[in-house]
Protein backbone atom coordinates (compact mmCIF):
# COMPACT_ATOMS: atom_id res chain seq x y z
CA UNK A 1 0.00 0.00 0.00
CA UNK A 2 2.91 2.31 0.61
CA UNK A 3 5.41 0.97 -1.91
CA UNK A 4 5.70 4.10 -3.98
CA UNK A 5 6.73 4.15 -7.62
CA UNK A 6 10.07 2.38 -7.05
CA UNK A 7 8.36 -0.50 -5.25
CA UNK A 8 5.70 -0.86 -7.91
CA UNK A 9 8.36 -1.00 -10.64
CA UNK A 10 10.17 -3.75 -8.72
CA UNK A 11 7.11 -5.88 -8.07
CA UNK A 12 4.83 -5.42 -11.08
CA UNK A 13 5.12 -7.00 -14.50
CA UNK A 14 6.76 -10.34 -13.79
CA UNK A 15 5.58 -13.73 -14.96
CA UNK A 16 3.54 -16.02 -12.74
CA UNK A 17 6.50 -18.15 -11.70
CA UNK A 18 8.29 -15.09 -10.28
CA UNK A 19 5.48 -14.53 -7.77
CA UNK A 20 5.03 -18.22 -6.99
CA UNK A 21 8.76 -18.56 -6.32
CA UNK A 22 8.64 -15.64 -3.90
CA UNK A 23 5.75 -17.30 -2.05
CA UNK A 24 7.74 -20.55 -1.82
CA UNK A 25 10.86 -18.76 -0.56
CA UNK A 26 8.95 -16.85 2.09
CA UNK A 27 7.09 -20.00 3.18
CA UNK A 28 10.38 -21.92 3.52
CA UNK A 29 11.98 -19.11 5.54
CA UNK A 30 8.90 -18.85 7.78
CA UNK A 31 8.96 -22.60 8.50
CA UNK A 32 12.69 -22.46 9.30
CA UNK A 33 12.09 -19.57 11.71
CA UNK A 34 9.15 -21.34 13.38
CA UNK A 35 11.43 -24.31 14.12
CA UNK A 36 13.57 -21.97 16.24
CA UNK A 37 10.64 -20.89 18.41
CA UNK A 38 8.58 -22.52 21.12
CA UNK A 39 5.01 -22.20 22.37
CA UNK A 40 6.03 -19.51 24.85
CA UNK A 41 7.14 -17.30 21.94
CA UNK A 42 3.92 -18.02 20.09
CA UNK A 43 1.83 -16.92 23.06
CA UNK A 44 4.04 -13.92 23.99
CA UNK A 45 2.10 -10.65 23.90
CA UNK A 46 3.36 -7.66 21.93
CA UNK A 47 2.06 -4.74 23.99
CA UNK A 48 3.17 -2.21 21.36
CA UNK A 49 1.19 -3.71 18.46
CA UNK A 50 -0.58 -0.82 16.65
CA UNK A 51 -4.10 -2.22 17.15
CA UNK A 52 -3.48 -3.09 20.81
CA UNK A 53 -1.77 -5.92 22.70
CA UNK A 54 -1.60 -9.00 20.48
CA UNK A 55 0.24 -12.30 20.79
CA UNK A 56 2.40 -13.82 18.05
CA UNK A 57 -0.17 -16.57 17.48
CA UNK A 58 -2.75 -13.95 16.49
CA UNK A 59 -0.29 -12.15 14.22
CA UNK A 60 0.71 -15.35 12.40
CA UNK A 61 -2.89 -16.50 12.08
CA UNK A 62 -3.55 -13.21 10.30
CA UNK A 63 -0.53 -13.78 8.01
CA UNK A 64 -1.81 -17.29 7.16
CA UNK A 65 -5.22 -15.88 6.27
CA UNK A 66 -3.61 -13.46 3.84
CA UNK A 67 -1.41 -16.13 2.29
CA UNK A 68 -4.41 -18.42 1.78
CA UNK A 69 -6.37 -15.58 0.22
CA UNK A 70 -3.57 -14.74 -2.22
CA UNK A 71 -3.02 -18.40 -3.08
CA UNK A 72 -6.70 -18.56 -3.99
CA UNK A 73 -6.35 -15.43 -6.10
CA UNK A 74 -3.41 -16.95 -7.96
CA UNK A 75 -5.37 -20.16 -8.60
CA UNK A 76 -8.33 -18.15 -9.89
CA UNK A 77 -6.13 -16.14 -12.23
CA UNK A 78 -4.21 -19.19 -13.48
CA UNK A 79 -7.48 -20.76 -14.62
CA UNK A 80 -8.22 -17.67 -16.68
CA UNK A 81 -4.90 -17.36 -18.46
CA UNK A 82 -4.95 -17.83 -22.24
CA UNK A 83 -4.44 -21.53 -22.98
CA UNK A 84 -5.19 -22.65 -19.42
CA UNK A 85 -6.78 -26.05 -19.01
CA UNK A 86 -10.22 -26.01 -17.33
CA UNK A 87 -8.97 -28.15 -14.44
CA UNK A 88 -5.75 -26.16 -13.78
CA UNK A 89 -5.05 -25.64 -10.09
Mean pLDDT of 7-17: 86
Host domain of residue 28: 1-36
Residues 3 and 45 grouped into a single domain? no
For the cut 70, the answer to whether the pLDDT of residue 1 exceeds it is no
Whether residue 78 sits in one domain with residue 43: yes
| pLDDT one-digit tens code per residue, 50-76 | 999 999 999 999 988 988 888 888 888
Shared domain check, 5 and 44: no
Q: Angle CA(84)–CA(63)–CA(59) in degrees, nearest 5?
A: 170
Residue-wise pLDDT tens digits, 14-32? 988 898 899 899 989 999 9
Distances (CA, A) of 62 to 9, 72, 81, 84: 27, 16, 29, 31
Counted domains in the chain: 2
**Are 46 and 89 within one domain?**
yes
Note the pTM of the prediction, 2 decimals: 0.64
Same domain as 41, residue 9: no
Nearest C-alpha neighbor of 59 from the set 73, 44, 71, 37: 44
Give the 3-state secondary structure of residue 17: helix
- Structure-derived torsion over alpha carbons of residues 25, 28, 30, 34, reported in degrees to the nearest 10: -170
Both 46 and 58 in one domain: the answer is yes
Q: Are residues 16 and 57 in the same domain?
A: no
Amino acid sequence: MGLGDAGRKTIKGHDRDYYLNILQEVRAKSLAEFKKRDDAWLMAVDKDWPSGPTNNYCKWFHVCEHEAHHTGQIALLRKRLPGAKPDAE
